[in-house]
Every structure is written in C-alpha cells, then in structure tokens.
Amino acid sequence: MFEARVLSDLSQEKIGKILRKIGCDEKGIEIMNPKAKHLLIYAKGLDPRAANIVKQEFLSAGGEAAVAWKTLDLSIEKSEILMMGTKSQYERVTEKLKEQPFDLKDLAGEINMSIDSYHGSKYGAERCKIMGILNVTPDSFFDGGRYDRVERAVEKGIKMEKEGADIIDIGGESTRPGSERISEEEELERVIPVIEDLSNKTDVPISIDTYKPKIAEKAVDAGAEMVNDVFGLRQEGMPEKIAELNVPVVIMHMQGRPKDMQEDPTYDDVISDISSFFLERIEVAKDAGVKDENIIIDPGIGFGKKLEHNLEIIERLDEFTSFSYPVLLGASRKSFLGNILEKEADERLYGSLAVAAMAVERGASILRVHDVQENLDVIRTVSAVI
C-alpha cells in the first residue's frame, strides 16, 4: 500500500529537509529545490525501479521528481519520492503510470485521489462542522466539574444546539496530560444518564468520547450516533465493535498515554509519522469491517506533542485531507496556546479562534470546540471568503 499525499506550500528549508530524508545528494537538492514551487506530492513505499520510472515520466512531462540516490543502482529495497509539477503535468504522468509495472497503476490512483481530496476539502461547498465539547468529568483541563451533574450537562447540550453545534461530544473520562484512567462502571455512570436525557431533548447527533468497546456499545444503545476514540481504535476489540455498531468513528493519533504523553514526545517527522499511523489504523479498521464512509481522522493536537509539533500540524493540516477522509481538529483552549499567549485556559478564546480560522482555510471538516457560537462565526466568515 502506497502513502501519497499532497504537501502544503512549504519553505525551501523544509523542502530541503524532505529531499535529504529521501536520500538525494546535495547537488541534486541544490538543483531541485527551486523547482518545488508547484503542486508537491510525497509518496513512499516504491520499488526503486518504479521510482526511476516515475522520475523519468515527470521529466518527460516537464515536471520533476526527487528520489533517493541509491535508486539508480537499485541498492535500496524501497524508495521515497517527492513529485513536483502542475496539475496538468500530474494528469499526463498518471495516465502513463497506469500502463506501467511495479504497481504504478495503484500509485496513479493514489496521486489522483490525493489531489482531488486536497482541493475538494479546501474549496468544497459544505462548511466545516462544529463539535461541541461536553465533559461530564470532575477533572477536565478547562470545564472539569462544571457539568458533572446530569441536569447541568443536559442544559449545556441544549444551549450548544441553540448556538449552532452540529455534534455534541460527551466525555466521561478526562484525557488531559497526567490524567489517570477510571473504571468502565464509573464512566458509564457519568455518561449514560446524560446521553439518554439529552438525546430525547435535542436533534443534534451525540458523540461518545471513549476508547472502550463496552462504553461505545452502551452509549450507542442510549442514543449516541458517533464514537470519538482518542486511542485510535487500539483498544482490543474496538475496531470490531465500531464495525458492529456501524457508526462514524474519529481515529485520533496519540503518542504514548495521557498519563505520560507529554514527558518527552519525539518524532522523526511529525506529519509523516502521523500519516503512517493513520494508514495503519485505517487498514485495521477496514479489515475489521468499518465502512469507509464512517472514518474520520484527527491528528491529535496536544496528545503526545510539543509546541513545535502542534504548530506544524496546524500549518500543514491540509496534507491530511489527501487521505480522502474528513479531518477533525481539536485545539480549543489547549495548553500549547497557553505557551504562546502566556494565558490560562479561560483566557485562550481568541487564540483558539485564530487556529479555527486557519483550520477551516486548510480544509478541516470538523472543529471540536468549547465555544460553539464564536467558532461558528469564524467558520461562516472564512467559508464565505473561500
């Protein structure tokens, strides 16, 4: 299975870093870097013979493709590649690749899907949706303890519906950095009464924020219509349970676990590493029977990421749209904004709205937020401009 995704409009420094990672020699980097000014698509997992064919086809079409130096003598098992060209050049190249060996027909399909998904998500007619956060926990980082009584939580959910929420995400276990896990029984006691009551009083779909198969099943039985899984379907039995329930699921990336995820998160390349995670988890989900149309991906802002990782995810969020799945972003009032603004969670609204505007422009399909009405104003404004 190939990984092919459109890259954001990167600086020459970042393009140079990618070319070095691929294994290009320095003279080649000097020649190719200035050419990387059109549509960039990065792919990996190519047979070196296939990589050489792709490079020649791009050169013939007037584009460029950077491959590892060792592809020339076929001394590496797999090659990465950075393709550079206009949309029409990609169209010419992919038509030729469909007739070539080494699974290049599949690569052509991945390239075309990536381009269509990338442009479709950014300039499509459907506006980004709002997922309102409703934590019925005593210890969430921003609203912990505010809605830990059923009547208060239901009242908040109804208020979010009136403000324009498209989804209400109910969570019974905090996953903030350093948080401890709770039992299934305690989680059920927190969320099920709220879901049952709120589902009878609102028309907005309810999402259950959980990684546990039993909680997901009981929540859907109580009226939830979606699952938001911060562990990315890694809990035993969760992929099969989602397939059985046949509901949309958010597959989120997290490095480590909430208790220790912020101790020292490290990545070779944060975007590539998260992309590889999505490819693997999506394959697991589909093998378990999860339908393609039920998959949503979330790069997991603040979940095992340093400040620079979070900023790069936001800057290059549009790259994740190349997977052709809706992209959810949850950055609302998180600690990375506190690091930038030097403000506590209750003073981070404007920073959150700035991120929301950038996320919409970069093709996000869903924003998970604490402040529904304010974010909806941002979405409507940015969507009108786009």
Q: Point out the residues that are catalytic.
A: 334, 368
Question: At which residue do the structure tokens 């209750």 appear?
Answer: 346
For the chain, what is the HEC assignment?
CCEEEECCCCCHHHHHHHHHHHCCCHHHHHHHHHHCCCEEEEEEEECHHHHHHHHHHHHHHCCEEEECHHHCCCCCCCEEEEEEECHHHHHHHHHHHCCCCCCHHHHHHHHHHHHHHHHHHHHCCCCCEEEEEEECCCCCCCCCCCCCCHHHHHHHHHHHHHHCCCEEEEECCCCCCCCCCCCHHHHHHHHHHHHHHHHCCCCCCEEEECCCHHHHHHHHHHCCCEEEECCCCCCCCHHHHHHHHCCCEEEECCCCCCCCCCCCCCCCCHHHHHHHHHHHHHHHHHHHCCCHHHEEEECCCCCCCCHHHHHHHHHCHHHHHHHCCCEEECCCCCHHHHHHHCCCHHHCHHHHHHHHHHHHHCCCCEEEECCHHHHHHHHHHHHHHC
